[in-house]
């Protein structure tokens, strides 16, 4: 291809490009810019609603461990050979019920000898009491006989107590645990016979963060959920509080009592505990109404200029808590204040606005220009 041909092709392409550019821009000559919906004569249209007050409810969760209302490890009071075991594992026993007996032949003999001594001392005292008024028996012999009777009575009490120590009784109503003691075993005072638990109520101990220590009190309701049965939710109340904050964990020890009449829970079970604290009321707004700047969170409130013209006013607030799509805020708000919930972007302090109630818009009235109808 010659140089002249190449030059002709370049000129043709330049002409085509110039014609295209002229055609594109020529169609827009005299076109006027579309007015912005925010520049309407009535001011920027925004959706607003009031900020109703809601009580601040805080749910505090902690891990707790259950223990029996009463619990005891059973040991014999003395050593000896087991002659009777009167219980089985998981038996319900009553206070004072005999659980185990040790061989007690020598103790029974000691009781009989002590009873004989008491009987003899009693007879001697009665005889001297009859002789003393006539002077046949001296006052000293009478006092000695009285002392002998008291000594014999004490020895009898001692022998009967030694005999009673050969029996293991249930100290309270409860459920007996496992045992490895059988008839014929020899036991000492260090031999654990079994465990006994009163499971009619379960005490759940957990630690409460220091910041809530001033809010909790006796009889506050508590909800617990065993980790092994997440669908089981049980309710109880706070029954014991620690007297001080742990300086290491910065927590307060708390015990809650959970009824367990159906025996669904065993001591040692781990729980998720829930405590609900009720605070003071705060205004609530939709999450979309809250904006952020380097100075903190803020929202737009409808203000009246000269009592008529609606303008945007920036109000700084403190976030208290989020609650299901709404936010509890703390700030200089009144019950009748209207808060901008749609159209917040681009607002400026003192900007003229046209407030449209959100509920009317949601019911089907005209939406602000450039906005699609929102789902409440």
In angstroms, rounded to a whole number, what is the distance separating the alpha carbons of residues 144 and 149? 9
Let me know whether 115 and 49 are in one domain.
no
Query: Which of residues 121, 137, 165 is at a domain's end?
Result: 165
pLDDT at 2: 65
The CATH code of the domain that includes 289 is 2.40.420.20
The pLDDT tens digits along the chain (376 residues) read 565 666 667 676 666 676 666 655 544 433 333 334 444 456 888 999 998 888 888 889 999 999 999 999 999 999 999 999 999 999 999 999 999 999 999 999 999 999 999 999 999 888 888 777 776 667 787 788 889 999 999 999 999 999 999 999 999 999 999 999 999 999 999 999 999 999 999 999 999 999 889 889 999 999 999 988 888 999 999 999 999 999 999 999 999 999 998 888 999 999 999 998 887 889 999 998 999 999 999 999 999 877 678 899 999 999 988 877 889 999 999 888 899 998 888 889 989 988 889 887 766 654 454 444 444 4
What's the token pair of residue 31?
């076109």
pLDDT at 355: 87
How many of the other CB atoms lie within 10 Å of CB of 147?
Answer: 12
Residue 348 in domain: yes
* Domain limits for position 113: 104-165
Are 179 and 89 in contact, with CB atoms under 8 Å apart? yes
Residue 252 in domain: no
Q: What is the pTM of this model?
A: 0.60
Residue 319 in domain: yes
Query: Which of residues 165, 187, 209 is at a domain's end?
Result: 165
Are 87 and 231 in contact, with CB atoms under 8 Å apart? no
Q: φ, ψ for residue 374 (rounded to 5)?
A: -90, 155
Residue 338 in domain: yes
Residue 177 in domain: no
Query: Which of residues 165, 199, 234 is at a domain's end?
Result: 165
Residue 133 in domain: yes
Element (H, E) at 236: strand 234-241
The answer for residues whose C-beta is within 8 angstroms of residue 160's C-beta and 6 or more apart is: 111, 114
The CATH code of the domain that includes 156 is 1.10.287
Residue 154 in domain: yes
Strand partners, 251: 209
Task: Indicate the number of domains in the chain.
Answer: 2
Let me know whether 357 and 287 are in one domain.
yes
Residue 150 in domain: yes
Distance of CA 371 to the CA centre of its chain: 45
């Amino acid at each position: 291809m010659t140089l002249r041909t190449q030059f002709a092709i370049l000129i043709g392409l330049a002409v085509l490009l110039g014609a295209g550019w002229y055609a594109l821009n020529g169609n827009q000559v005299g076109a006027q810019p579309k007015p912005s919906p925010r520049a309407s004569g009535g001011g920027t249209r925004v959706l607003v609603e009031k900020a109703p007050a809601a009580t601040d409810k805080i749910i505090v969760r902690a891990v707790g461990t259950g223990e029996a209302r009463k619990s005891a490890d059973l040991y014999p009071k003395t050593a000896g050979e087991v002659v009777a075991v009167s219980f089985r594992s998981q038996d319900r026993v009553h206070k004072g019920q005999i659980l185990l007996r040790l061989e007690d032949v020598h103790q029974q003999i000691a009781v009989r000898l002590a009873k004989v001594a008491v009987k003899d001392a009693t007879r001697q005292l009665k005889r001297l009491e009859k002789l003393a008024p006539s002077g046949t028996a001296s006052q000293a012999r009478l006092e000695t006989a009285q002392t002998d009777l008291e000594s014999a009575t004490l020895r009898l009490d001692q022998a009967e107590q030694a005999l009673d120590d050969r029996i293991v009784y249930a100290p309270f109503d409860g459920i007996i645990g496992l045992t490895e003691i059988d008839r014929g075993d020899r036991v000492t005072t260090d031999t654990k016979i079994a465990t006994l638990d009163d499971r009619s109520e379960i005490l759940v101990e957990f630690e409460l963060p220091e910041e809530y220590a001033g809010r909790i009190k006796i009889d506050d309701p508590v909800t617990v959920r065993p980790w092994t049965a997440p669908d089981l939710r049980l309710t109880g109340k706070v029954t014991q509080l620690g007297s001080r904050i742990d300086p290491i964990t910065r927590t307060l020890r708390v015990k809650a009592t959970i009824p367990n009449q159906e025996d669904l829970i065993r001591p040692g079970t781990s729980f998720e505990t829930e405590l609900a604290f009720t605070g003071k009321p705060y205004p609530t707004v939709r999450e979309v109404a809250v904006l952020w700047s380097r100075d903190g969170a803020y929202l737009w409130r409808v203000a009246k200029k000269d009592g008529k013209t609606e303008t945007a006013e920036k109000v700084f607030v403190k976030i208290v808590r989020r609650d299901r799509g709404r936010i509890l805020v703390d700030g200089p708000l009144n019950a009748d204040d209207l808060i901008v919930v749609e159209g917040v972007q681009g607002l400026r302090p003192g900007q003229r606005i046209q407030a449209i109630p959100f509920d009317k818009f949601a019911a089907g009235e005209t939406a602000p220009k450039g906005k699609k109808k929102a789902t409440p």
